[in-house]
């Protein structure tokens, strides 16, 4: 007969084993969709666009299926074109700067779409109550050391990134009637700074709010970075609990030919994120204060609308491509196998019958431009920005918008990198403010913004092939024009907004090498 002690001992071991094996259920987590439509706005660039888009990441339609009315920002959006700037340090400009009230007024009242996703119901009205924001993959190249403390100085460093998130928390605390969702930046394929990226994102998920003694339920983090680092890495709701599982890899496990996450990675993120968003929303909605009432007063002529922004005001046409090529010419690096053609194509226009078609095949490390030079300098100062319609049949297109300033004898080149990452059946409207164009690095005052719209000598589009691979494609341009928006007053822009970066294009766009210098010399010598 066994001694009673052994019975008690074995029973104790058995109970401890069962407790250890049982899932750590977290009470109060409700992954069910909201009962009523909820308005959400997503601040993003190309990776976010892919994530939202039907047939790629399917986030937009999945959110709609969960009763969210989704809107989004992208390049060119908002007052001062703030949508261009989504690097981690730029969040200070969005949420902790002099212009924050102005930007947030536009953001919470935005109801437009800047990506190709499906809405399943009409706008329920009112403000956006959920604000999601994400930086793009170059922000995973954080310099410094994994354990660096918050630092007010720097740019893309571990210490400065921590400082930025600590600072913007003050805005979130002051606005408990909004739910703020941080989406971590996706990983890079390059492992140089991967350890720093992992450490910073773990800090965001596990330590950021605790270190700041932040107890309000209106801030949450989804680790998009972690989900994309391995097939068995997760941030999800499983078996009654939220799990954050690190599989030991710190680089991109879902490449698409570059550092944009693939369709499979984007859809995995959708599957894991939406139940968590429901949990975050239900947790916050149970304690959220009511939004302040909006006084219904007659609008004055000087009022900035507090709902949908007024449409842009057309100023003047630059080229509608209805009367021939009108001077558009191709330039390329003749020392390589690069080729480019730009010509009017009848029957392909968006707002007329014709459009400018550009076919390019750029050799590795080379460049090609399609540009229009004017016989006399043009005064474009009546407009705030240049706008055009663009159509593309390939995903992952990057290019440079180009403005030529100075004089006919001394042409100055300014570029604004942009891109479109998902093929669409129709055209998309693109805009760029004057200050978005920066002086090319091989000319005097590199990086300085374009500030003389009263003296424009040309406009163009440039294509570059970085690395060891050629770059081939085709685009259609239509309705190049100047416009301004009555909704926003650019006169009170901050003088030196921190950084205009290349949030999702930096790793893909090489400098134009000596293209601008060669182009200027060839054009001046050939025509003027």
Q: Domains of the chain, with CATH numbers?
A: 38-285 (3.40.50.1110), 313-488+499-527 (2.60.120.430)
Q: Residue 289 — pLDDT band, cuts 50, 70, 90?
A: low
**What pTM value is reported for the model?**
0.58
So what's the pLDDT on residue 467?
Answer: 66
58 within 8 A of 105, measured Cβ to Cβ: no
- pLDDT value at 489 more than 70: no
Mean pLDDT score across all residues of the chain = 83
So what's the pLDDT on residue 299?
Answer: 36
Q: Which of 8-12, 378-382, 507-511 has the lowest mean pLDDT?
A: 507-511
- pLDDT value at 53 more than 60: yes
Q: Residue 28 — pLDDT band, cuts 50, 70, 90?
A: confident
Rounded to an integer, what distance in angstroms lies between the CA atom of residue 346 and that of residue 343? 10
Cα–Cα distances in angstroms (integers) from residue 485 to residues 310, 387, 416, 490, in the given order: 7, 12, 20, 9
Q: How many whole angstroms from its chain centre is CA 142?
A: 18
Overall average pLDDT of the 210-214 stretch = 96
Where does residue 496 rank: exposed (0-12), middle (13-18), buried (19+ CB within 10 A)? exposed
- pLDDT value at 385 more than 90: no
Overall average pLDDT of the 107-122 stretch = 94
- pLDDT value at 423 more than 70: no
Comparing 6 with 87, the larger pLDDT belongs to: 87
Q: pLDDT digit string (tens) for 157-200?
A: 999 999 999 999 999 999 999 999 999 999 999 999 999 999 99
Rounded to an integer, what distance in angstroms lies between the CA atom of residue 460 and that of residue 319? 12
- pLDDT value at 504 more than 70: no
Half-sphere exposure of 477 (CA within 13 A, CB side): 27
So what's the pLDDT on residue 100?
Answer: 95
So what's the pLDDT on residue 21?
Answer: 34
Q: pLDDT digit string (tens) for 88-113?
A: 999 999 999 999 999 999 999 999 99
- pLDDT value at 241 more than 60: yes
- pLDDT value at 205 more than 60: yes
Rounded to an integer, what distance in angstroms lies between the CA atom of residue 183 and that of residue 293? 29
Q: Residue 323 — pLDDT band, cuts 50, 70, 90?
A: confident
123 within 8 A of 33, measured Cβ to Cβ: no
CB atoms within 10 A of CB 288: 17
Q: Which of 7-11, 278-282, 286-290, 311-315 has the lowest mean pLDDT?
A: 7-11
In this structure, the strands spanning 438-439 and 411-420 are antiparallel
């Amino acid at each position: 007969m066994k001694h009673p002690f052994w019975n008690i001992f074995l029973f104790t071991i058995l109970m401890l084993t069962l407790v250890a094996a049982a899932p750590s259920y977290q009470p109060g987590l409700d992954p069910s969709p909201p009962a009523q439509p909820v308005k959400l706005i997503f601040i993003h660039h190309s990776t976010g666009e892919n994530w939202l888009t039907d047939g790629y990441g399917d986030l937009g339609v999945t959110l709609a299926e969960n009763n969210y009315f989704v809107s989004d920002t992208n390049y060119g959006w908002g007052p001062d074109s703030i949508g261009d700037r989504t690097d981690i340090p730029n969040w200070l400009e969005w949420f902790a700067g002099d212009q924050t009230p102005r930007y947030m007024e536009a953001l919470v009242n935005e109801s437009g779409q800047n990506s190709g996703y499906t809405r399943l119901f009409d706008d329920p009205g009112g403000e956006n109550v959920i604000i999601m924001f994400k930086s793009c993959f170059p922000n995973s190249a954080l310099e410094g050391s994994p354990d660096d403390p918050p630092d007010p100085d720097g740019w893309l460093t571990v210490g400065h990134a921590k400082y930025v998130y600590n600072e913007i928390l003050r805005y979130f605390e002051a606005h408990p009637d909004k739910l703020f969702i941080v989406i971590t930046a996706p990983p890079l394929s390059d492992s140089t700074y991967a350890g720093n990226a992992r450490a910073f994102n773990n800090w965001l998920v596990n330590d950021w709010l605790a270190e700041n003694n932040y107890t309000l339920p209106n801030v949450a983090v989804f680790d998009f970075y972690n989900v994309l680092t391995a097939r068995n890495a997760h941030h999800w709701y499983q078996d009654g609990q939220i799990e954050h599982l690190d599989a030991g890899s710190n680089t991109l496990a879902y490449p698409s030919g570059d550092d944009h996450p693939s369709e499979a990675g984007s859809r995995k993120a959708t599957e894991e994120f939406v139940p968590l968003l429901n949990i975050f929303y239900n947790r916050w909605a149970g304690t959220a204060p009511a939004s302040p009432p909006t006084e219904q007063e007659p609008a004055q002529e000087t009022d900035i609308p507090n709902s949908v922004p007024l449409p842009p005001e057309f100023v003047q046409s630059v080229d509608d491509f209805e009367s021939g090529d009108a001077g558009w010419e191709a330039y390329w690096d003749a020392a390589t196998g690069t080729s480019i053609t730009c010509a009017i194509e009848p029957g392909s226009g968006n707002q007329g019958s014709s459009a400018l078609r550009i076919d390019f095949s750029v050799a590795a490390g080379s460049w090609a431009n399609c540009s229009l030079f004017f016989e006399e300098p043009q005064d474009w100062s009546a407009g705030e920005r240049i706008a055009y319609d663009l159509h593309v049949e390939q995903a992952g297109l990057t290019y440079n918008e180009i403005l030529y300033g100075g004089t006919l004898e001394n042409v100055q080149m300014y570029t604004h990198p942009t891109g479109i990452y998902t093929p669409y059946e129709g055209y998309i409207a693109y805009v760029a403010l004057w200050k978005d164009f920066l002086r090319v690095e091989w000319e005097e005052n590199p990086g300085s913004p374009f500030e003389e719209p009263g003296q424009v000598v040309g406009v163009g589009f440039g294509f570059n092939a970085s690395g060891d691979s050629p770059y081939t494609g085709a685009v259609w341009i239509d309705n190049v024009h100047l416009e301004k928006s009555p909704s926003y007053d650019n006169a009170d822009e901050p003088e030196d907004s921190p950084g205009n970066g290349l949030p999702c294009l930096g790793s893909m766009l090489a400098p134009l090498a000596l293209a601008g210098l060669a182009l200027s010399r060839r054009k001046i010598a050939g025509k003027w």
